[in-house]
């Protein structure tokens, strides 16, 4: 019975869909055109099969990206003799006519990425030398081999920047970049280069930036590109980096060797201007134990260099090579994710300018802080995720770490830090000591004076602003642990019982705190209401994972923007007064995973209207033994919550009834509309059968 209208509907729908898509094509065709602004024609994605001919002859920039050109025909650009920049990104180009650029003597930038120029590379290679003024050429993503690349770059002596990224180049010899005397920038990333012959970059006297990232280079020995400013060899398979022993001055400023398999600290040029050295994710270490020598001076490595049928053995004294390299300008040193168990004495001392040192994820067990080591310029020190159980501070060293601003000691095995470490660091603003088992000074009376002071003292560290003590196994805080600081960010989460049910231990910093995390600290409101009224500047408060049964008090704290109350024991929503007052500033509130009583959710409507609840759909309430989502509750709540005793089946029936009724009415209407034809069908059938 209902089938017929359904079919009709579907038929109509298909008809309209078809009509729409046809008209869509019509519109695209009529709009086939380019945006022209200030000598720039943007014809991106216009489904063009050839270069448009209706554009201004004074065009300087033409963008034809994402058009299925396939071939750039001879003379197809002759209408635009003033063209300086041409972009043909993703144009399915296989062929560029020998004479395609005959009239383009002024073209300076040509971008041909993501095409198929390997298909007829010889003709393309013959076309390119017409571009006498070409400075930038992008050939990335064209499946070019080294021979094709060499041919294409032949005679393009004006080039300053070339990208051959994402091709299939495997080795480089001295023929590939021959004659590119003006080249400054060369991008070879994401190829399969496993070998670079000596002399491959020889003629490139102007080369400044070389990117070899994402290749298969096993080592770099005898590195002698003195003119280079930045070298990126990240994501290769390097086991060695060995600069040539020459005394020449290297211009190198940035060296990225991250994500390789280096075993030793790279042996850098003796004289360079290096300011950034990135060594993340290698296998480096210092091998005092392996060599079984008392001093690093005796560590020697022998390199076997095989070049054709020639074999050379080079012996390198690792420590002397290291100490002869010039690191006076080094500012950023990233040694994270390596195997360092220790840093040799004097290792950091010669890096006078070092401002950022990252030693995250190594195996350091102790660290000695001495005069000039780490250097006084250090601003950021990351020692997180090591095995540090001890920090040593040389005695009588006032003001070491005086520039330090951020000190990350997260996830180590520290039980304390040397006395005065943080107070001496006059500029320190951020300390992360999370996931170390420590206790804070002052310790509760009774524990004082037992053995050496093993507590960590943050009192009177006046510059400190941000402190993370997450998961430190802290006992109940004493009242003045943060006295004399002006903390704005404090993370105490995961320290069970740290506040012992009241905010009093934080009263010293209550006026300054902006972000406070008290996640999983065992707060309960069985004794008294938690009171955050003193926290006038608090913006962000995390109270999730506690056992709060009542809403905390925020009488004066009108700055609060984010409040997290998930996973508590709240049974009622905040009182109307509380919520109205809070909502003036609050932007985000999380309320889910609490056992609200469905009969005590009066403020719900008001809360919902304020659009601040981020986990709206996940808030549930308990009704006898059932759990119901709050958004599924009927809007108007009976005052005395009578339906509490009503059987749930009945409740669902009440919820479903309106929908059922609507359906029923719809069915009736349909039935009545098609009743007549249907009856006729039945009649005719009957009639037919009666003949039979």
Ligand X SMILES: *[C@@H]1O[C@H](CO)[C@@H](O)[C@H](O)[C@H]1NC(C)=O
Q: Rule CB under 6 A: which residues touch ligand X?
A: 71, 73-74, 95, 97-99, 125-126, 129, 151, 154-155, 189, 211, 213, 232, 234, 254, 256, 278, 292, 305, 307-310, 312, 360, 384-385, 402-403, 408, 410, 426-427, 430, 432, 476, 500, 595, 622, 627
| Distance of alpha carbon 377 from the chain centroid | 28
Q: Are strands 310-317 and 300-307 parallel, antiparallel or unpaired?
A: antiparallel
For ligand X, the closer CB: 291 or 674: 291
Q: Helix or strand or coil: residue 369?
A: strand
Neighbouring C-beta atoms of residue 229, cutoff 10 Å: 16
CB of 233 to ligand X, least distance (A): 8
For ligand X, the closer CB: 135 or 360: 360
CB of 577 to ligand X, least distance (A): 24
For ligand X, the closer CB: 544 or 612: 544
380 vs 100: CA distance, rounded Å: 55
For ligand X, the closer CB: 476 or 663: 476
What residue has token string 């290679």?
125
Closest CA to 176 of 186, 229, 117: 186
Q: Helix or strand or coil: residue 676?
A: helix
CB of 74 to ligand X, least distance (A): 4
For ligand X, the closer CB: 565 or 583: 565
The structure tokens listed for 331 are: 């500012």
For ligand X, the closer CB: 125 or 176: 125
588 vs 584: CA distance, rounded Å: 12
CB of 182 to ligand X, least distance (A): 16
210 vs 134: CA distance, rounded Å: 19
Please answer whether residues 590 and 544 qualify as being in contact, where contact means their C-beta atoms are separated by less than 8 angstroms.
yes
CB of 244 to ligand X, least distance (A): 10
CB of 584 to ligand X, least distance (A): 31
CB of 259 to ligand X, least distance (A): 9
Peptide bond into 442 cis (omega under 30): yes
Helices (H), 312-441: 318-324, 421-424
CB of 25 to ligand X, least distance (A): 30
For ligand X, the closer CB: 500 or 588: 500
What residue has token string 């349909």?
670
The structure tokens listed for 660 are: 């059922």
CB of 642 to ligand X, least distance (A): 19
Closest CA to 234 of 254, 210, 209, 215: 215
CB of 308 to ligand X, least distance (A): 6
CB of 177 to ligand X, least distance (A): 14
Q: Helix or strand or coil: residue 466?
A: strand
**CA-angle at 374, arms to 370 and 379, nearest 5°:** 135
CB of 257 to ligand X, least distance (A): 10
For ligand X, the closer CB: 314 or 668: 314
The structure tokens listed for 579 are: 């919520």
603 vs 582: CA distance, rounded Å: 13
For ligand X, the closer CB: 490 or 583: 490
Instruction: Calculate the alpha carbon distances from 395 to 256, 378, 418, 419, 435 in Å.
Output: 37, 20, 10, 10, 27
Please answer whether residues 565 and 539 qualify as being in contact, where contact means their C-beta atoms are separated by less than 8 angstroms.
no
Question: What is the DSSP track for 35-70?
Answer: EEETTEEE-TTS--SS--SSS-TT--EEE-TT----
Please answer whether residues 410 and 437 qualify as being in contact, where contact means their C-beta atoms are separated by less than 8 angstroms.
no
CB of 71 to ligand X, least distance (A): 5
Sign of CA dihedral 478, 479, 484, 487: positive
Ramachandran bin of 385, using left for φ above 0, alpha for ψ from -120 to 50, beta for the remaining angles: left
The structure tokens listed for 196 are: 């670079």
Instruction: Calculate the alpha carbon distances from 207 to 278, 333, 657 in Å.
Output: 21, 24, 78
For ligand X, the closer CB: 509 or 583: 509
For ligand X, the closer CB: 312 or 673: 312
For ligand X, the closer CB: 312 or 668: 312
CB of 288 to ligand X, least distance (A): 11
Closest CA to 151 of 187, 127, 183: 127
Q: Helix or strand or coil: residue 155?
A: coil
Q: Are strands 219-223 and 195-196 parallel, antiparallel or unpaired?
A: unpaired
For ligand X, the closer CB: 163 or 612: 163
For ligand X, the closer CB: 321 or 582: 321
């Amino acid at each position: 019975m209902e089938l017929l209208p359904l079919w009709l509907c579907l038929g109509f729908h298909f008809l309209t869909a078809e009509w729409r898509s046809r008209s869509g094509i019509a519109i695209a065709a009529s709009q086939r055109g380019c945006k022209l602004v200030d000598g720039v024609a943007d014809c991106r994605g216009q489904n063009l099969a050839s270069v448009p001919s209706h554009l201004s002859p004074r065009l300087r920039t033409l963008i034809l990206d994402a058009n299925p050109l396939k071939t750039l025909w001879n003379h197809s650009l002759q209408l635009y003799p003033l063209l300086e920049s041409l972009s043909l990104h993703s144009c399915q180009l296989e062929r560029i006519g020998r004479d395609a650029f005959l009239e383009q003597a002024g073209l300076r930038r040509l971008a041909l990425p993501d095409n198929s120029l390997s298909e007829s590379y010889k003709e393309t290679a013959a076309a390119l030398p017409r571009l006498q003024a070409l400075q930038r050429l992008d050939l990335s993503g064209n499946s070019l081999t080294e021979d094709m690349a060499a041919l294409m770059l032949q005679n393009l002596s004006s080039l300053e920047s070339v990208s051959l990224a994402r091709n299939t180049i495997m080795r480089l010899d001295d023929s590939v970049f021959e004659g590119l005397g003006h080249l400054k920038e060369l991008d070879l990333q994401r190829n399969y280069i496993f070998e670079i012959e000596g002399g491959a970059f020889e003629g490139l006297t102007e080369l400044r930036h070389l990117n070899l990232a994402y290749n298969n280079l096993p080592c770099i020995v005898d590195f002698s590109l003195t003119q280079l400013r930045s070298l990126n060899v990240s994501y290769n398979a390097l086991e060695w980096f060995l600069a040539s022993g020459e005394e020449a001055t290297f211009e190198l400023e940035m060296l990225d060797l991250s994500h390789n398999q280096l075993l030793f600290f790279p042996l850098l040029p003796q004289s360079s201007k290096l300011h950034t050295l990135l060594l993340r994710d290698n296998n480096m270490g210092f091998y005092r134990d392996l060599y079984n020598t008392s001093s690093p001076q005796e560590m020697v490595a022998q390199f076997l260099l095989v070049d054709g049928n020639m074999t050379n053995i080079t012996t390198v004294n690792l420590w002397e090579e290291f100490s002869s390299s010039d690191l006076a300008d080094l500012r950023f040193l990233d040694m994270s994710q390596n195997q360092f168990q220790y840093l040799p004495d004097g290792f950091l001392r010669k890096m006078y300018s070092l401002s950022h040192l990252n030693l995250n994820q190594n195996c350091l067990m102790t660290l000695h802080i001495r005069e000039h080591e780490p250097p006084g310029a250090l601003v950021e020190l990351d020692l997180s995720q090591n095995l540090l159980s001890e920090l040593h501070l040389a005695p009588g060293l006032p003001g070491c770490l005086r520039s330090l601003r951020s000190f990350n000691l997260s996830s180590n095995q520290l039980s304390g830090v040397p006395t005065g470490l943080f107070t001496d660091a006059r500029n320190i603003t951020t300390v992360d000591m999370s996931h170390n088992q420590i206790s804070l000074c002052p310790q509760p009376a009774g524990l004082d004076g037992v053995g050496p002071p093993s507590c960590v003292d943050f009192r009177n560290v006046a510059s400190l602003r941000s402190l993370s003590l997450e998961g430190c196994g802290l006992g109940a805080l004493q009242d003045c642990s943060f006295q004399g600081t002006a903390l704005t960010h404090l993370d105490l989460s995961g320290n069970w019982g740290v506040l012992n049910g009241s905010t009093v231990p934080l009263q010293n910093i209550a006026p300054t705190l902006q972000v406070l995390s008290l996640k999983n600290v065992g707060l309960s409101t069985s004794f008294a209401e938690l009171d955050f009224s003193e926290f006038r500047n608090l913006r962000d408060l995390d109270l999730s994972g506690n056992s709060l049964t009542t809403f905390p008090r925020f009488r004066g704290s009108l700055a609060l923007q984010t409040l997290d109350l998930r996973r508590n024991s709240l049974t009622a929503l905040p009182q109307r007064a509380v919520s109205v007052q809070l909502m003036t500033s609050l932007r985000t509130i999380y309320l889910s995973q609490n056992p609200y009583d469905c009969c005590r959710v009066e403020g719900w409507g008001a809360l919902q209207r304020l659009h601040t609840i981020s986990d709206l759909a996940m808030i549930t309430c308990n009704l006898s033994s059932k759990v119901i989502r709050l958004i599924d509750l009927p809007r108007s709540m009976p005052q005395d919550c009578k339906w509490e005793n009503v059987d749930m089946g009945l409740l669902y029936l009440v919820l479903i009834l309106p929908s059922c009724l609507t359906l029923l009415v719809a069915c009736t209407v349909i039935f009545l509309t098609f009743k007549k034809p249907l009856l006729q069908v039945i009649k005719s059938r009957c009639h037919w059968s009666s003949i039979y």
